[in-house]
Amino acid sequence: MRLFGSVTAIRFFRVSQSNKSDIFIDLLTLSASMPILPTQEVTMTDGPFRNLKLDSRSKRFAEAVQNDAVDQKTRCAYANDAILNGILRENQALLRALQDYGQDGQLDLDPIASVKGVFDSHPKSEFADHLQREVGLQLHEGEKFQAAINSGLEAALESSIGEFRTRTHEACLEAYGSREMRKDQLDRFVVGCNLALRGIDCPRILKALKDVNKGAFKKDVMKKEGLDEGPRM
């Protein structure tokens, strides 16, 4: 809200009783003509979770986990959706190529080299690096290709969940450090985030990754129970 007023200086004369010196005191009064801008304190509480340096799904998750009006099931759904889409954003083509590999039924005499070729032909990402290391390790130990992919996806997803936690925590810490977020808001986020990530549905995320299905949690996240009220300030 913008307030209006003008500043008028009124000078009073007073004699100090302690040292008999003359002191002038200026008082400021307001009238209805000069705009007064909001203070920084008001600005600091203006949607700190909406201003986080995160993608839209991660911001929605961060906003939800510190909002008492959003239940735990919905918070977990936002986490599932944010983690899944964060992975698929950079790795859809790679995951499709890995699922298509070996579908022709031909025997591959050097699966390690062939799989490396699949990874090398697609853009790099943190998830892809984790997945390639895990799949290569499984193949080196004699695991069949599909089993190696499944084990690799599980390990890479676990790493991605940890990175998601770190990324969201760091974004909130940065907002707190720049005074855009209060300490109580940060504390509520940390507690809510940790609880929500304990309840995510890893089997469903893994299936969605194998199916390359970005909309796997679409119906779940549409249940915004109380989120329209916004985060508690």
Give the model's pLDDT for residue 49: 81
Residue 22 has pLDDT above 80, yes or no: no
In this structure, what are the phi and psi dihedrals at residue 22, rounded to the nearest 5 degrees?
-85, 130
In 72-218, which ranges are E strands?
none
34-76 pLDDT, tens digit each: 333 333 322 233 468 878 999 999 999 999 998 888 999 999 9
Q: Is the pLDDT score of 9 beyond 70?
A: no
State the average pLDDT over residues 92-120.
85
> What digits encode the pLDDT tens for the residues 142-152?
998 889 999 99
3-class secondary-structure state, position 42: helix
CA atoms within 13 A on the CB side of 134: 20
pLDDT of residue 2: 39
- pLDDT higher at 51 or 2: 51
Q: Is pLDDT larger for residue 184 or for residue 45?
A: 184
Structure confidence at residue 96 as a pLDDT band (50, 70, 90) = very high
DSSP state of 115: H
pLDDT for position 134: 95
Average pLDDT over residues 92-115: 83
Token code pair at residue 209:
């990754």
pLDDT of residue 101: 83
| Predicted pLDDT of residue 30 | 35
Q: Using 50, 70 and 90 to split pLDDT, how confident is the model at 107?
A: low
How confident is the prediction for the chain on average, in pLDDT? 79
Residue whose C-alpha is closest to residue 119's, from 108, 130, 109: 130
Question: What distance in Å separates the CA atoms of residue 181 and residue 108, rounded to the nearest whole number?
Answer: 55
Q: Which residues contact 173 (CB under 8 A, 6 or more apart)?
A: 186
Q: What is the mean pLDDT of residues 87-106?
A: 86
pLDDT at 28 over 60: no
Where does the pLDDT of residue 128 fall: very low under 50, low under 70, confident under 90, or very high at 90 and above? Answer: very high
Residue range 203-222: average pLDDT? 94
- The pLDDT value given to residue 164: 97
Kindly state the percentage of the chain with pLDDT values over 90: 62
